[in-house]
Amino acid sequence: MRVLLLNLAVATAKLLLGYATGAVSIVSDGFHSLTDSTSNIIGLVGLRAARKPPDADHPYGHRKFETLAAAAIFIFLVLAVLEIGRTALHRFASPSPPDVTWVSFAVMIATLIVNIGVVRYEGGRGRLLKSELLLADSVHTRSDVFATIGVLISLSGVALGFPLLDPIGGVAIAILIARTSYEIARDTSGILSDRAALDEDHIRRTVLSVPEVLGCHQIRTRGSADHVFLDLHVWFPAAMPLNTAHLLSHDVKDRLMEQFPQIADAIIHIEPPPSER
């Protein structure tokens, strides 16, 4: 909630300043910051849904709601790119120098300091909690830091008599947001499409470290960075009693979950090696 309020304050300050001075770069940065606030609201809703325990309709839990929230951030970023690009191109067609004063620099520097603080906080919490949503939002806000630096450079150029640097700054911000959009889309699409979440060779080495295990195959993983589901087939001697193989499979599962604490659940299928079937 604190991050949301800070982002709203930053966005409001930039938009008021941008429309008051007529600076396309500041207005663009204001819309960029406004998407930060929107993503915070989406994030709060997504995290609330993701915390719900498994139920009859969602036996694997509700964690993908967090991923869907991160994907929604991507949509708002694309909308911001379109709006910023449209405004910047319009200014190229009819250039008019914005009114740049010391107040412009003071407001932008103040918002820059706030954004740096938000990035450090969200990035630290995201890495600590291994939350894809917090990490996605920190990447988004980090792009806002670079965008604000770009605006300060553009304003400096305008003050020195180069008014075209204002719409150029707006285009640069649009490109920066587009790159951030791609990164978020790449990560969230991997989770939603069940891309492999853990290294297969590392899993195989862990399984083979359990005595009497002859091998394994059909290793499959899916999920987010902090919530992975694993299933695999483990080979035991064909003559081994089923009860013994069952107990050893629990040893395999315990060792896997110790080696990979992000595993939420592991399903192990017991079978003899191909040579003994």
pLDDT digits (tens, 9 = 90+) for 130-178: 666 667 667 767 777 877 888 888 888 888 888 888 888 878 878 877 8
Could you say which of 3.30.70.1140, 3.40.47.10, 3.30.70.1350, 3.40.50.2300 is the CATH number of the domain covering 200-276? Answer: 3.30.70.1350
Q: How many residues does the chain have?
A: 277
Residues of the chain with pLDDT under 70: 1-3, 38-47, 49-50, 94-97, 130-134, 136-137, 140, 276-277
Give helix 165-192 / helix 132-159 axis angle, nearest 10°. Answer: 170
The pLDDT value recorded for residue 253 is 94
Cα 217 to Cα 190: distance, rounded to the nearest angstrom: 22
- pLDDT tens track for 1-15: 666 777 778 888 888
Cα 224 to Cα 134: distance, rounded to the nearest angstrom: 13
Domain positions in the chain are 2-192, 200-276
The upper half-sphere exposure of residue 95, i.e. CA atoms within 13 Å in the direction of its Cβ, equals 11
Three-state SS at 61: coil
Q: Which residues have CB under 8 Å from 219's CB, separation 6+? A: 200, 203, 204, 230, 232
Tell whether domain 2-192 is in CATH 1.20.1510.10: yes
Q: Which residues have CB under 8 Å from 235's CB, separation 6+? A: 213, 214, 215, 216, 217, 271, 272, 273
Cα 271 to Cα 171: distance, rounded to the nearest angstrom: 59
The pLDDT value recorded for residue 251 is 93
Quick one: tokens of 144? 């806002």
Q: 68 near 61, Cβ under 8 Å?
A: no
